[in-house]
Amino acid sequence: MPNPNAESHKNQPDDGEMERAWRLLEQHAEAWRPAWKASVLEHATLVHDAACFLAALFSPQVAVDTRVLRLGAILHDVGRSRAQRVVEHGVRSGEIIREAGFPEGAARIGETHIGVGLTAEEAADLGLPRREFVPHTIEERIVCYVDNLLSYRSDTKHHLFRDAAGAVQRFAEELGTAYGERVEAFMEGVEREMGPERLSRFRTYLADVNRTLSNGIGGPS
């Protein structure tokens, strides 16, 4: 499904930069768990494409740095190859993105996409650097929002998008009611920014993607 307002996108990454980002993700996925590489690449592709669609819905009223958004969406999970614990992979993604010379904004997307972020105190309690890892910019919030909607079905071996309520339920079950309420507030905040008409268009896009995935036609292009 094409982006609804592609003309409004500015500061696009060039083809070489995009290729370098995909190559970096492939290399780290291969080093981490070769058997999962296809799933990692599919996940990144789905997050990237949905984030671009959502960013186009926000434009031109909201200025979105498309270069930062696209690179961050591709590489947000690249740090799984270095993480000893799941909660570390955002910080490790930021490290790898910076080491590769990609924009700081893309590194921040990697760092802040875990759940709906971590305060400095929460990060320190988890043995991470005492820094705030909370999504604030429009690029950070778009990738975080989209990533929370995407789930992997181990029974069918493919991804599907769920609604915001499904994301809230998942985090409440895994991390407790209080964190679930934070997720709910974050997801509802992004959806309020969209407004009913744009949210309806985005949900239609996700439903179309889910039909494609259910038919077994997913994965990186």
CB atoms within 10 A of CB 137: 17
Q: How many CB atoms within 10 Å of residue 115?
A: 25
**Terminal Cα-to-Cα distance of the chain (whole angstroms):** 13
Lookup result for tokens 């690179």:
71
Q: What is the rounded average pLDDT of the residues 85-91?
A: 94
Per residue in 36-84, pLDDT (tens digit) is 899 999 999 999 999 999 999 987 789 999 999 999 999 999 999 999 9
The span from the CA of 173 to the CA of 175, in Å, is: 6
What is the band of 29 on the pLDDT scale with cuts at 50, 70, 90?
very high
pLDDT above 50: residue 6: no
- 137-190 per-position pLDDT tens digit: 999 999 999 999 999 877 777 899 999 999 999 999 999 999 999 999 999 999
Q: Peptide bond before 60: cis, by omega within 30 degrees of 0?
A: yes
Judge whether 124 and 130 are in contact, CB under 8 Å: yes
Contact 69, 51 (CB under 8 A): yes
Q: State the helix-helix crossing angle for 89-99 and 104-112, rounded to 10 degrees.
A: 170
Q: Residue range 16-21: average pLDDT? A: 96
Note the pLDDT of residue 10: 60
Q: What is the pLDDT of residue 60?
A: 77
To the nearest whole percent, how much of the chain has pLDDT over 70? Answer: 93
What's the pLDDT tens digit per position in 105-134? 999 999 999 999 999 999 999 999 999 999
In the predicted model, is pLDDT for residue 8 greater than 60? no
Mean residue pLDDT of the chain comes to: 91
Domains in the chain and their CATH numbers? 6-214 (1.10.3210)
Q: What is the pTM of this model?
A: 0.91
Q: What is the largest CA-CA distance in the chain?
A: 44
pLDDT over 90 (residue 216): no
Closest CA to 103 of 17, 196, 189: 17
The 3-state secondary structure of 82-149, one letter per residue: CCCCHHHHHHHHHHHHHHCCCCHHHHHHHHHCCCCCECHHHHHHCCCCCCCECCCCHHHHHHHHHHHH
